[in-house]
């Protein structure tokens, strides 16, 4: 049998678990905390080597935590029913409805058509459309949907006799990278845009019993997303690639042809658009408008109401609804399980005392300048997320940052938010994120193309996220960055 990374990881995980349980007994580490540490070490090995499917690894806490004495089964299993899992569930159902009626394609084509037909504007249009869709539906689904539209545009340029030789190859590389990168960048903007954002909200709720609202996140995420999107567009169209041909022959006509092929706005598209708009407005306005009328209203409640409505509203064919349960089967259940595993880790860190013990081991970092720590933290997460699942990374890493903040006497959000945003900025490798892999399969890109462009975007994203987190986040979220609130201290202890 050939020994592979997966094979090594499969056996190394339980071996390391047993070694930690039996041989690692430092002063101050309780048996329950040691059990959680050993279990998480097993999970990290399986996640990084992908010895088994990533969602399967996320189920390990249900077995390891109770059997090893780390955390009771009732507390562990409760983490898999966390309210943010149902927020994600509602968001996924809304995304399925948008894709089913082809509303996402109409939105994308309309944005591209409005922006214009110059080569740089075409790329900008694709980036705006991709990023906007990625704010609401998965970046994988967004990139898969945008890829054929992009390929059609590249073919249009290639087949046009007025096109300069090989210009379509340069344009093709730039457009493919634009689709991949903007799919990731768009997810930073909203709480449901990418799994790490919800992991952060869930961990904060689990550890501190503090809710991160949709509107609260968008105040931080949207400016970063828009700024990074502009930086990416500027780099791709003015630094990374040089276009000899400024105008796109027939580009607008191709977009118009695809829009015409969709026909008029269908009955189903109209209803889904209404539900989508109402949901988005409700999420954004909930904390300062809806709560006056419905004090118990919550982002999760809004998401589930929208999901239920989609199963009630009729389609043009009166025998069917906008969504049937057969559509819901397409939900990415693996991501929901993975999210539950992340919440179980957070519960284990807090409930066993492991978080407090780790915090005491980080005392050496106390004298490090805060801005340096934020920058190094963002850089570290950015590099690690190139080779591992960003959701798994945040699920493992965020519970560790809470005790670190306690030791340094700084607000935990200053560390946790920067790490969360950085985990989505994986631009350098085809395997870093699904959108990168999707566009790499187009045939227009080689690994050096992604590495070269992605390297500079990684650097720029690290600088941007670190600066915004350090200088603006305390003002945007109204907290004192240099002082860990006493109420949160009590919760962590």
3-state secondary structure 38-85: HHHHHHHHHHHHCCCCHHHHCCHHHHHHHHHCCCCHHHHHHHCCCHHH
- CA distances for 140 relative to 8, 28, 211, 349, 458, angstroms: 29, 44, 27, 31, 20
Say which DSSP state 150 is in: H
Q: Tell whether the model's pLDDT for residue 290 goes beyond 80.
A: no
Q: What is the pLDDT of residue 485?
A: 62
Q: Count CA atoms within 13 Å of residue 440 on its CB side.
A: 19
**Global pTM value:** 0.74
SS3 314: strand
Region for 118 from its dihedrals, namely left if φ exceeds 0, alpha if ψ lies in -120 to 50, beta otherwise: beta
Give the residue-averaged pLDDT of 169-183.
Answer: 90
DSSP string, 144-174: HHHHHHHHHHHHHHHH-TTSPTTHHHHHHHH
Calculate mean pLDDT across residues 387-395.
73
Q: Each residue of 44-98: pLDDT tens digit?
A: 888 878 788 878 988 999 999 999 999 999 999 998 888 878 877 887 888 788 8
pLDDT digits (tens, 9 = 90+) for 95-133: 788 878 888 778 777 877 787 668 888 899 889 989 998
| Residue-averaged pLDDT of the chain | 83
Taking only the tens place, the pLDDT of each residue in 308-366 is 999 999 888 766 788 988 888 888 788 788 778 877 887 887 778 886 777 677 666 77
Query: What one-character DSSP code corresponds to residue 247?
Result: B
CA distances in angstroms from 317 to 89, 162, 485, listed in the order given: 26, 46, 56
Give the C-alpha separation, 414 to 374, whole Å.
8
Domain coordinates in residue numbering, the chain: 1-52, 83-328
Residue 160 is inside which H or E element, if any? none
Q: What is the pLDDT of residues 399-447, one digit of tens each?
A: 888 878 877 778 889 999 999 999 999 898 776 777 887 787 777 888 7
Q: Is the pLDDT of residue 385 over 70?
A: yes
pLDDT digits (tens, 9 = 90+) for 219-266: 999 999 999 999 999 999 999 888 776 666 666 777 788 788 888 888
Buried b (16+ CB within 10 A) or exposed e, 278-300: ebbebbbebeeebeeeeeebbbb
Helix axes 83-100 and 103-115, enclosed angle (nearest 10):
70
Residue 256 CA to residue 184 CA, distance in Å, equals 27
């Amino acid at each position: 049998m050939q020994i592979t990374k997966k094979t090594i990881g499969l056996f190394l995980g339980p071996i390391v678990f047993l070694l930690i349980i039996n041989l690692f007994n430092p002063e101050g580490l309780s048996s329950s905390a040691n059990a959680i540490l050993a279990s998480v070490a097993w999970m990290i090995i399986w996640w990084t080597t992908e010895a088994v499917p990533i969602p399967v690894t996320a189920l390990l806490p249900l077995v390891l935590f109770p059997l090893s004495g780390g955390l009771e089964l009732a507390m562990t299993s409760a983490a898999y029913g966390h309210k943010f899992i149902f927020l994600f569930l509602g968001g996924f159902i809304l995304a399925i409805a948008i894709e089913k009626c082809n509303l996402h394609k109409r939105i994308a084509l309309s944005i591209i058509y409005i922006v214009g037909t110059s080569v740089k504007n075409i790329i900008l249009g694709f980036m705006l459309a991709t990023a906007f869709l990625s704010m609401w539906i998965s970046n994988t689904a967004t990139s898969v949907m945008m890829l054929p539209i992009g390929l059609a545009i590249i073919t249009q340029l290639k087949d046009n006799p007025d096109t300069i030789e090989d210009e379509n190859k340069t344009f093709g590389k730039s457009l493919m990278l634009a689709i991949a990168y903007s799919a990731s960048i768009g997810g930073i903007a909203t709480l449901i845009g990418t799994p790490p954002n919800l992991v952060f909200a869930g961990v904060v709720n689990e550890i501190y019993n503090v809710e991160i609202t949709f509107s609260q996140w968008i105040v931080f995420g949207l400016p970063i997303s828009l700024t990074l999107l502009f930086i990416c567009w500027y780099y791709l169209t003015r630094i990374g690639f040089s276009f000899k041909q400024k105008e796109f022959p027939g580009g607008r006509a191709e977009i118009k042809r695809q829009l015409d092929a969709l026909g008029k706005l269908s009955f189903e598209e109209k209803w889904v658009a209404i539900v989508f708009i109402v949901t988005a407005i409700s999420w954004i306005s909930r904390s300062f408008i809806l709560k006056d009328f419905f004090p118990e209203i919550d982002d999760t409640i809004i998401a589930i109401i929208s999901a239920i409505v989609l199963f009630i509203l009729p389609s043009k064919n009166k025998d069917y609804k906008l969504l049937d349960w057969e559509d819901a089967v397409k939900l990415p259940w693996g991501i929901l399980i993975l999210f539950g595993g992340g919440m179980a880790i957070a519960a284990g860190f807090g409930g066993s005392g492991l978080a407090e013990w780790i915090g005491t081991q980080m005392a050496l970092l106390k004298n490090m300048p805060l801005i340096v720590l934020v920058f190094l933290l963002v850089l570290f997460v950015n590099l690690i997320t190139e080779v591992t699942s960003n959701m798994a990374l945040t699920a493992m890493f965020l519970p560790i940052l809470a005790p670190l903040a306690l030791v340094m006497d700084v607000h935990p959000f200053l560390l946790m938010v920067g790490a969360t945003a950085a985990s989505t900025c994986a631009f350098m490798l085809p395997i870093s994120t699904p959108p990168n892999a999707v566009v790499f399969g187009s045939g227009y890109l080689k690994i050096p193309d992604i590495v070269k462009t992605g390297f500079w975007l990684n650097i720029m994203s690290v600088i941007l996220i670190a600066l915004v987190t350090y200088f603006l986040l305390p003002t945007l979220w109204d907290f004192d960055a240099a002082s860990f609130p006493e109420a949160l201290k009590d919760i962590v202890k």
